[in-house]
Amino acid sequence: MARRRALAPSLARVNDKSAQQTRNTTAPRVAFFGPFGTFTEQALRTQRDLADGELIPLRTVPDVLDAVSSGEVDFGFVPIENSIEGMVNFTLDALAFDHELIVTREVVLDIHLCLAAPKGTSLDAITDVMSIPVATAQCHRFLREHLPLATLRAATSTAGAAKSVAEDGSPGLAAIAPRVAADLYGLEVLEHDIEDEDGNQTRFVVVARDGAPAPTGHDRTGLVVFQRADEPGSLISILQEFAARRINLSNLISRPIKHGGLGEYCFIILAEGHVGDDLMADTMRALHAKQGLVKWFGSWPRADGAAHDARTHADERWRQADDWLNEIRSRLGR
């Protein structure tokens, strides 16, 4: 339990001006899930303030987060959710259990995958397909219909798959990768847009040690809630705190506690709102009082800039109720 309590970061990190000022004096060092040619790099390059810094590709998401935690880099850029495959659990778990980092921004990128192989390779000659499991899962239909006998081989990233195929040079080996990675590593694109569903998108996040942005009115907050006791009604007890304040949840995920035993779970929650909002802060206060351990891992602007109407109206009603109660309390002791 001591290990788990040590995970909870202080809310004092919101708007850490000194951290922001330090970063602004020099170009940022930004680690990302590499190698060059990944969708992560493409999404990162849409953020001019980060892309103008020193970009450092690392082999895995944990490597990126480790580099941020140690201070080797200023920011990390990693995937957290895909519209087809859902949340990227290894990113969520690392933020929940292994690091004292906060999310400061999100970026959404349209994802288009292609099948790429050494030049001169025909589709009929493909015997092995290399990519990360998340990418091959997004292309199950194409693989079943066109390459039902091909062996799927795991890579560390989609761009890493393209790089490995190029270095191997075998005519029977292909990669599921971004077009930019195929071009970067000299592969021929055999098939375009092989993902199963239209509208395939991935959400990426920027992580840092400090410096959460101020509320914008269209924000998202990440929380990890550890149950005080595994008992009937514990989830309802958590959810009612959000429902009572009209706070919408965009994601609720049950995850096993890595350092616990079988049957020990926590809840990772993405909620609409900002820790700087009165309602969100009050919800977090109530959850902490009930559950004993709540980890906050950031409040950041939504990529779509949308605000949830129910929460906006609830914020105003809450302020009115707070003014009403303060007026009553002002009369005490007269």
Determine the Cα–Cα distance for residues 276 and 281; give it in Å rounded to an integer. Answer: 7
pLDDT category at 252 given cuts 50, 70, 90 is: very high
Across 62-71, 145-154, 234-243, 311-320, least confident range: 311-320
The pLDDT of residue 331:
77
Is pLDDT above 70 for 260?
no
φ, ψ at 287 (rounded to 5°): -65, -40
Q: CB-based contacts of 276: which residues, under 8 Å, 6+ apart?
A: 14, 214, 215, 299
Is 247 part of any domain? yes
Nearest to 241 by CA among 166, 164, 294: 294
Residues 6+ apart with CB under 8 A from 3: 259
Same domain, 179 and 227: no
Between 310 and 217, the higher pLDDT residue: 217
pLDDT for the residue numbered 17: 42
**Cβ of 330: how many Cβ atoms within 10 Å?**
9
- Residue pLDDT, tens place only, 268-285: 999 999 999 989 999 999
| 139 and 267 together in one domain | no
The arithmetic mean of pLDDT across residues 129-152, rounded, is 94
List pLDDT tens digits, range 191-241.
Answer: 999 999 888 899 999 999 999 999 999 999 999 998 776 667 788 989 999
The answer to whether 237 and 190 have CB atoms below 8 angstroms apart is no
Q: Give the Cα separation of 178 and 158 in Å (integer).
A: 7
Q: Which of 154, 150, 162 is nearest to 187 (CA)?
A: 162
pLDDT (tens digit per residue) in 10-35: 444 444 444 444 444 588 999 999 89
Has residue 196 been placed in a domain? no
Residue 100 shares a structural domain with residue 245: yes
State whether 218 and 104 are in the same domain: yes
Which has the closest alpha carbon to 84: 47, 116, 112, 45?
112
Q: Are residues 120 and 222 in the same domain?
A: no
User: What is the count of structural domains for the chain?
Assistant: 2
In this structure, are 221 and 283 located in the same domain? Answer: yes
CATH number at residue 146: 3.40.190.10
Distance CA 61, CA 77 (A): 9
What whole-number percentage of the chain has pLDDT above 70? 87
pTM of the predicted model as reported, rounded to 2 decimal places:
0.79
Q: Are residues 129 and 240 in the same domain?
A: no
Enclosing domain of residue 118: 114-191
What token pair was written down for 80? Answer: 């957290």
Same domain? For 128 and 228 the reply is: no
Query: Average pLDDT in the 44-67 region?
Result: 95
Is residue 45, in this structure, part of any structural domain at all?
yes
